[in-house]
Structure 1
Amino acid sequence: MDKQQILLISFGQFEQDLLQQIAAEVQAVFGIPVEVESGYADLSKFYDPARRQYDGNLLIQFIHSEYGADHRKTIGLFRVDLFIPILTYIIGQAIYKGNAGVVSVFRLKSELYGLKKDDDLLFDRFVKEIIHELGHTFGLTHCISPACVMRPSTYIEDVDQKEAAFCAKCRKKLGETR
Structure 2
Amino acid sequence: MHVDIVPVGEVSAQVKREASDGLRSVYDCEVSMHEPQSIPAGAYDGDRDQYRAEEFIDLARRVGSGGKNIAITPKDLFYRRRNYVFGLAYLGGSGSVISTYRLQTSSDGGFSNRSAGEIFSQRVRKEVVHEVGHTLGLEHCDNKRCVMNFSPTVRQVDVKEVSLCGSCQRNVL
**8 Å Cα contact 1:20-1:36 kept in structure 2:** no
Note the aligned Cα RMSD (angstroms): 2.2
Change (3 A) 1:25 1:42: closer
Q: After the TM superposition, which of the residue ranges 33-42 and 94-103 deviates more from structure 2?
A: 33-42
State the shift of 1:64 in Å.
Answer: 1.8
State the shift of 1:21 in Å.
Answer: 3.9
SS, match of residue 126 in structure 2: helix
Match of 1:72 among 67, 70, 78: 67
Unaligned 5+ segments in structure 1 are none
The corresponding residue for 2:137 is: 139
Q: After the TM superposition, which of the residue ranges 91-100 and 30-39 deviates more from structure 2?
A: 30-39
1:39-87 superposed Cα distances (whole Å, 9 cap, x missing partner): 21244521000000000122212222333xx552100000010001220
1:104-158 superposed Cα distances (whole Å, 9 cap, x missing partner): 110111149999x812111100110000000000000000001000000111111
The corresponding residue for 1:27 is: 24
Match of 2:89 among 94, 107, 124: 94
Amino acid at match of 2:127: E
CA distance in 2, matches of 1:20, 1:124: 11
Amino acid at match of 1:146: K
Bigger share in helix? 1
State the shift of 1:24 in Å.
Answer: 2.2
2:56 matches 1:82 = no
TM-score scaled by structure 2? 0.89
2:161 matches 1:166 = no
Amino acid at match of 2:49: R
The corresponding residue for 2:10 is: 13
Amino acid at match of 2:75: V
Match of 1:62 among 56, 59, 62: 59
State the shift of 1:36 in Å.
Answer: 1.4
CA distance in 2, matches of 1:17, 1:148: 24
CA distance in 2, matches of 1:120, 1:17: 11
CA distance in 2, matches of 1:14, 1:58: 17
**8 Å Cα contact 1:77-1:104 kept in structure 2:** yes
SS, match of residue 45 in structure 1: coil
Unaligned 5+ segments in structure 2 are none
